[in-house]
Every structure is written in C-alpha cells, then in structure tokens.
C-alpha cells in the first residue's frame, strides 16, 4: 500500500464516522490536516507512533529515551476491536501484553496503513503473526528488558507467602501484634522447581542457590553452565512436580504450554506445594488452582499474572464491582498473593523497554524488514 492508497483508506475511515462532533472524527481530522506531506509523519517530518495502554511510567521512560526523534501519541486505552480505529493515521503502533491483536484487529490495522507493530514486551502470544505476515506488517519485540527485575519479584512473592508478610502487615496496621498463624519455614535446604531456565529462570535459580536451596530445573534446552552448578539438577517435568517444595514458572505461553498447570499436574505435586507464576497467566488453569487451594494440595500461590487479566490489571477498579468470579474467588484465599503484572516494573526495566522499542522503530524507519530486524518476530 503506497502513501496515496493509505490516505484514501484514511479518508474513507473518516467518512464512516458519524457526526462532525465525534471525538474520534475530530482527532483523525487533525491527523489528516497535519500530515499533508507523508502519511504517518507529523508536520516536522517525525514518524508518528501510537502508544497504546500507555501509563505514566511508560511515558516518562519513552520521553527520556526518545530525545525528540519520533512523535509519540499516547493512548490510555488498550488496543482491541473496539479501539482499533484510533490507530488510523499511524504507520507504527506500540502495544503491551494485554492488547489484543487477533486477525480481526490486524486486518483493520492493515486497512488503516499500519506497517509496524512494536511490542514493548518479550511475549507475543497476543498477536496473530500469520495475519501480520499476510498483510506485510512487521512485528518487533523487546526480548529481555530486565530478567533480574522479574526474578527478584518472584523471590519476593516466595518470601511474602512463606513468612506471611501480607497478613502480618495488615494485622499490625490494625493494631494486632500476635503471631498465631504466621509460622513459615527456612528456605535453606528446600527443593525448588524452576520450570524454564531462560534468562529469568536462571536468575531465579541463582538467587535460590544463594539461599542454600537445591534446584530442580526443567527446560527443552539445557543451560550447560547452570547444569554444572552445585545443587542444580535438570529432571523430567513430572519429577520436578513430585519433588519440589516450591514451583516457579518461567516459560512463554504457546499452545503447548497453555494450562501447563492443570488438575492432572497439580495431583502430581507435593501436598502443600507453593506455586509461583510471574510469566503468563494462561500457563495456569485458575479453576484447577482454586480447587487445589481448597483441598490443600496447593499450600499457597503467588501470581503476578492471571489468564483473564486484560481489562482488570493496569486499571483502577476500586470503585467498581469485580465481575470476574474466578479472580474474585481467588482473592478470598489468605494464602494467595496476587500482584497486578508488576514483576517487570523497575526503573532499569522501563528504560530498557523504551530504549529497545525505539531502536526497533528506528531500524524499521531506516528500511529494515523481516529477518533484517534485530528483534523481529516471524510465524513459526
């Protein structure tokens, strides 16, 4: 699609919107008025980027690293079928983990003239890569922004659950200083199961080795350096499930890993096991997890992700009724800690995300495509 065709499609979209007072119409009209030279660029010749699901901390890091190179337009809303029209007038959009780019959305992005989807995260399970390839839309990601940030949050969840810090904090705030029900266990000498030993999983393992733990690891690709460490052993997944006192998940979400933790695998685990998930929500069948918590098979759970988190995480719902019955039930357990997908949220990680994303966009603007893109993502 050339610039003339993009402008024609853009104008057609304008005409479809009802009423001159429609806020979206006015926004798109302003884009058209200020983009008379090249589609997707502002009047100063800067490539425009639509930043969806943009939070204040995102904007701070992107503004710091952008240095005026691109014209960044933030949108607080997530990208989905209802908001995709907001991508009109942009050749580049930047999205996060809970934006939904299925075939319908990708088709509409293509008709709007979008040529690059810049993921500011490592995972890309929320993008229909085949649809992108059909339309010639490039996809890039940030493969590693701070494995230490996620690993340290993982350990924080373990310690909070083990020593009941969440319960102790609320007790003391309410003036109750008794210790009944707050007994934990020594981490030293315990057996830890690490599912996935990529950069994050390896960081978790190294921290746990510092605690004096024995680490059972599982991954399709064995990390030879980690395997050579004392007190580290690569084992089959079933052995890890049956022997580990704490299990921590660090694998991407693919069809093969969806519901990796389910009713059958939970039955294989040690009774009273602690489960930690800071990777992707749909690795865990939440209903099976709830049943495991009720029966006592699962002793505690720390979750930074949830399979239906889109529309909930990153939003303030404190004045609303939580309509997700599964999540609401999960939050009633005093042996469960849920954080709102914040494991990555450190200054270092945010800077790495912004810097790498903008470098990805710069490569695209300079003409790189497909395998030429350093962090490009292609269908399998």
DSSP for residue 261: B
Among 195, 186, 277, smallest CA distance to 240 is for: 195
Using CA atoms, how far apart are residues 337 and 300, in angstroms rounded to an integer?
8
In three-state secondary structure terms, 212 is coil
- Edge-first strand listing for the sheet containing 138-140: 71-74, 48-51, 92-95, 116-119, 138-140
Residue 23 has pLDDT above 90, yes or no: no
CATH architecture of 3-145+347-372: 3-Layer(aba) Sandwich (3.40)
CATH number of 147-338: 3.30.300.170, 3.40.50.720, 3.30.450.90, 3.90.1150.10? 3.40.50.720
Residue 48 is a catalytic residue: no
Identical topology for domains 3-145+347-372 and 147-338: yes
- CB count within 10 Å of CB 318 equals 6
280 is a catalytic site residue? yes
The catalytically annotated residue of 13, 341, 363, 375 is 341
The alpha carbons of the chain give a radius of gyration, in whole angstroms, of 23
Percent with pLDDT over 70 in the chain: 90
The token duo for 128 is: 């229909």
At what angle are helices 147-162 and 199-210 packed, to 10 degrees? 50
Tokens, residue 126: 């929320």
Tokens of 14: 């304008």
State residue 35's pLDDT score: 44
* Domain locations along the chain: 3-145+347-372, 147-338
Instruction: Indicate the pLDDT class of residue 9, thresholds 50, 70 and 90.
Output: low
pLDDT at 11: 60
Residue 31 has pLDDT above 60, yes or no: no
Instruction: Please compute the mean of the pLDDT values over residues 34-61 and round it to a whole number.
Output: 88
pLDDT of residue 30: 54
Q: How far apart are CA 189 and CA 202, in angstroms?
A: 18
The model's pLDDT over 222-281, given as tens digits with 9 standing for 90+, comes to 999 999 999 999 999 999 999 999 999 999 999 999 999 999 999 999 999 999 999 999
Question: Among the options 13, 202, 280, 375, which is catalytic?
Answer: 280
Region 370-378 average pLDDT: 96
**pLDDT recorded at residue 144:** 87
Calpha distance 115→334 (Å, rounded):
47
The active-site residue, picked from 6, 13, 250, 309, is 309
CA dihedral 324, 283, 150, 99 (to 10 degrees): -60
Active site residue 12: no
The burial of 30, by beta-carbon neighbours within 10 Å (0-12 exposed, 13-18 middle, 19 or more buried), is given as exposed
Per-residue model confidence as pLDDT tens digits over 267-308: 999 999 999 999 999 999 999 999 999 999 999 999 999 999
């Amino acid at each position: 699609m050339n610039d003339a065709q993009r402008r024609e499609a853009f104008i057609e979209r304008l005409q479809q919107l009802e009423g001159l007072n429609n806020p979206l119409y006015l926004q798109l009209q302003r884009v058209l008025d200020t983009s008379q030279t090249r589609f997707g660029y502002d009047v100063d010749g800067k490539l425009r980027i639509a930043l969806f699901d943009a939070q204040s901390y995102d904007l701070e890091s992107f503004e710091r690293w952008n240095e005026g190179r691109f014209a960044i337009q933030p949108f607080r809303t997530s990208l989905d079928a209802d908001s995709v029209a907001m991508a009109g007038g942009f050749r580049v959009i930047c999205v996060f983990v809970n934006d939904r780019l299925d075939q319908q959305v990708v088709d509409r992005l293509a008709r709007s003239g979008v040529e690059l989807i810049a993921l500011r995260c490592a995972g890309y399970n929320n993008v229909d890569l085949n649809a992108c390839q059909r339309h010639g839309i490039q996809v890039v990601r940030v493969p590693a922004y701070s494995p230490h940030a996620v690993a340290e949050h993982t350990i924080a969840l373990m310690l909070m659950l083990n020593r009941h810090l969440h319960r102790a904090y609320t007790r003391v705030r309410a003036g109750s200083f008794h210790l009944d029900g707050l007994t934990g266990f020594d981490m030293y000498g315990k057996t830890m199961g690490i599912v996935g030993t990529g950069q994050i999983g390896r960081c978790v393992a190294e921290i746990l080795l510092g605690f004096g733990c024995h680490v059972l690891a599982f991954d399709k690709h064995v990390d030879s350096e980690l395997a050579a460490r004392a007190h580290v052993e690569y084992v089959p997944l079933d052995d890890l499930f049956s022997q580990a006192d704490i299990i921590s998940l660090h694998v991407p979400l693919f069809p093969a890993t969806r519901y990796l933790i389910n009713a059958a695998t939970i039955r294989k685990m040690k009774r009273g096991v602690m489960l930690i998930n800071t990777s992707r929500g749909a690795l865990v069948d939440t209903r099976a997890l709830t049943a495991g918590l009720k029966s006592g098979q699962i002793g505690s759970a720390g979750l930074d992700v949830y399979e239906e988190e889109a529309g909930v995480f990153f939003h303030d719902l404190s004045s609303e009724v939580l309509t997700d019955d599964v999540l609401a039930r999960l939050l009633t357990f005093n042996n469960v800690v849920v954080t709102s997908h914040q494991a990555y949220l450190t200054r270092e990680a945010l800077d790495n995300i912004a810097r790498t994303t903008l470098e990805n966009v710069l490569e695209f603007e300079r003409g790189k495509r497909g395998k030429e893109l350093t962090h490009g993502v292609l269908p399998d």
